[in-house]
């Protein structure tokens, strides 16, 4: 196919340079969006009388046939056609002849590719929200099953205070809900139409940009044509979203790696989501959790790459912007794949509740409550803290837990201790006293479950409103 821009040139491009500059190897992924945008553009051109309605109809019918071929995997993309736009136009020309050339009236590849990319990111946001919702659902179900499972909570990876396993899982549900919130907020800036901006300055044709926005279900249009073709803020935000989401998954996967180790023994992954060793027959490795953890850096790299690419670009379109797509596609695929594998791990893991409880019992996780006990008796908390610390030291020297001490042992450290101290320091009592909103007590967990399930319903309603 003759180059769309070839009239200015007397010699063809060097073959190596042509290959170096082509984007079809990756932007063919935009084919369905390019066709979608072109159908809307052709519809508007016909309605506005910019091209004859009969030509518009012929173009639209041809594009629909190209779409059918694409769905049957029958389209062949050629390097010499450079990008997805010219490849689609070539296929359209082969079907309907020279009339296909009228499709490019009143638009540039600059606003065309921006439109394609907006459409892609828009769909990607919906898919991400749906996949995050799936992981949230599995975490919520596990939390419901483990409302009474006590485990140690950690700070500095040291046993800190006893908590419910449900509380730990719901923390990740909350993290993921913020990711959904970011996606929903980003939608407002993604769902703006750049088409009609032309190369940078608009067009002399009497186009109706709002009609195209209506056909493509955009909420509005860019009001500055130069901004329309040069804006990639939405890509930066999208990659920020994928990076933050991957960071959350990586944190959970790090805990899965720890929890499956012999040192913790809190959970066991399903065989189908584990691997073995080629030399050590006893091994059962959390390889997929490790891989998600590793892939997080890859997604971060895409974010840093686009920020670096954009930081020195003058207005408006520059070829550097071609580098926005591969990283975005890869980050999206990586996040969706990671969400899927983590959801499967959570849904199918086996929880060793007894091991969790033993860990909570053995780490003086109730020491804070010994200090709280004295503070409620009137002893200043700093003094109570010191007494509790000395109790822990005494236990370590005598290889006992706080629950194994006698009342006489306690009274050696403070006369304020009474015969209810052992009951007060039981793990159940320690957990269920934390009734503050968001705390780990059973009644608080009940409230948290209600809140996250309400949020999940709202997420599904948001998706349904957009996707029908």
Q: Which residues pair with 192 in a beta bridge?
A: 220
Q: How many whole angstroms separate alpha carbon 33 and alpha carbon 30? A: 5
Residue 353 corresponds to which tokens in the numbers above?
A: 């509740």
Residues whose CB is less than 8 angstroms from the CB of residue 285 and which lie 6 or more positions away in sequence, other chains included: 274, 275, 276, 277
Q: Which of 10, 156, 272, 436 is catalytic?
A: 156
Backbone angles phi, psi at 160, to 5 degrees: -120, -70
Q: Which of 25, 54, 277, 406 is catalytic?
A: 277
Does residue 156 carry a catalytic annotation?
A: yes
3-class SS letters over the chain? CCCCCHHHCCCCCCHHHHHHHCCHHHHHHHHHHHHHHHHHHHHHHHHCCCCCHHHHHHHHHHHHHHHHHHHCCCCCCCHHHCCHHHHHHHHHHHHHHHHHHHHHCCCCHHHHHHHHHHHHHHHHHHHHHHHHHHHHHHHHHHHHHCCCCEEEEEECCEEEEEEEHHHHHHHHHHHHHHHHHHHHHHHHHHCEECCCCCCCCCCCCCCCHHHHHHHCCCCEECCCHHHHHHCCHHHHHHHHHHHHHHHHHHHHHHHHHHHCCCCCCCEECCHHHCECCCCCCCCCECHHHHHHHHHHHHHHHHHHHHHHHHCCCCCCCCHHHHHHHHHHHHHHHHHHHHHHHHHHHHHHCEECHHHHHHHHHCCCCCHHHHHHHHHHCCCCHHHHHHHHHHHHHHHHHHCCCHHHCCHHHHHCCCCCCCCCHHHHCCHHHHHHCCCCCCCCCHHHHHHHHHHHHHHHHHHHHHHHHHHC
Does residue 277 carry a catalytic annotation?
A: yes
Q: Which residues are catalytic?
A: 156, 277
């Amino acid at each position: 196919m003759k180059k769309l821009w070839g009239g200015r040139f007397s010699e063809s491009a060097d073959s190596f340079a042509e290959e170096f500059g082509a984007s079809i190897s990756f932007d063919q992924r935009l084919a369905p969006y390019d066709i979608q945008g072109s159908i809307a553009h052709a519809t508007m051109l016909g309605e506005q009388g910019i091209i004859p309605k009969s030509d518009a109809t012929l173009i639209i019918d041809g594009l629909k046939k190209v779409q059918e071929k694409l769905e049957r995997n029958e389209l062949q993309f050629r390097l010499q056609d450079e990008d997805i736009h010219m490849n689609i136009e070539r296929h359209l020309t082969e079907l309907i002849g020279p009339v296909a050339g009228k499709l490019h009236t009143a638009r540039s590849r600059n606003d065309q590719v921006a439109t394609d990319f907006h459409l892609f990111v828009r769909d990607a946001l919906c898919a991400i929200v749906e996949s995050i919702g799936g992981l949230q659902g599995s975490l919520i179900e596990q939390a419901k099953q483990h409302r009474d499972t006590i485990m140690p909570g950690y700070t500095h990876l040291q046993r800190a205070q006893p908590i419910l396993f449900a509380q730990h899982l719901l923390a990740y549900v909350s993290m993921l809900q913020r990711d959904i919130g970011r996606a929903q907020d980003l939608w407002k800036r993604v769902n703006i139409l750049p088409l009609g901006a032309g190369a940078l300055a608009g067009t002399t044709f009497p186009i109706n940009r709002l009609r195209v926005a209506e056909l493509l279900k955009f909420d509005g249009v860019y009001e500055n044509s130069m901004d329309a073709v040069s804006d990639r803020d939405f890509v930066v935000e999208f990659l920020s979203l994928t990076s933050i989401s991957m960071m959350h998954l990586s944190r959970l996967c790090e805990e899965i790696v720890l929890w499956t180790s012999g040192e913790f023994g809190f959970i066991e992954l399903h065989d189908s989501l584990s691997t073995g060793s080629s030399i050590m027959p006893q091994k059962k490795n959390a390889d997929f959790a490790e891989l998600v953890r590793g892939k997080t850096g890859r997604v971060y790299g895409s974010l840093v790459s686009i920020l670096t690419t954009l930081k020195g670009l003058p207005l408006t379109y520059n070829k550097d912007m071609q580098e926005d797509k591969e990283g975005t596609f890869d980050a999206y695929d990586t996040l969706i794949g990671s969400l899927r594998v983590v959801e499967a791990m959570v849904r199918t893991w086996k929880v060793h509740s007894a091991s969790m409880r033993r860990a909570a019992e053995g780490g003086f996780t109730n020491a804070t409550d010994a200090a709280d006990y004295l503070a409620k008796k009137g002893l200043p908390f700093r003094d109570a803290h010191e007494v509790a610390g000395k109790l822990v030291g005494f236990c370590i020297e005598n290889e006992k837990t706080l629950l194994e001490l006698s009342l006489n042992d306690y009274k050696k450290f403070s006369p304020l201790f009474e015969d209810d101290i052992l009951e007060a320091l039981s793990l159940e009592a320690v957990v269920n006293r934390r009734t503050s909103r968001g705390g780990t007590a059973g009644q608080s967990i009940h409230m948290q479950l209600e809140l996250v399930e309400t949020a999940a319903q709202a997420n599904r309603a948001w998706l349904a409103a957009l996707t029908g």
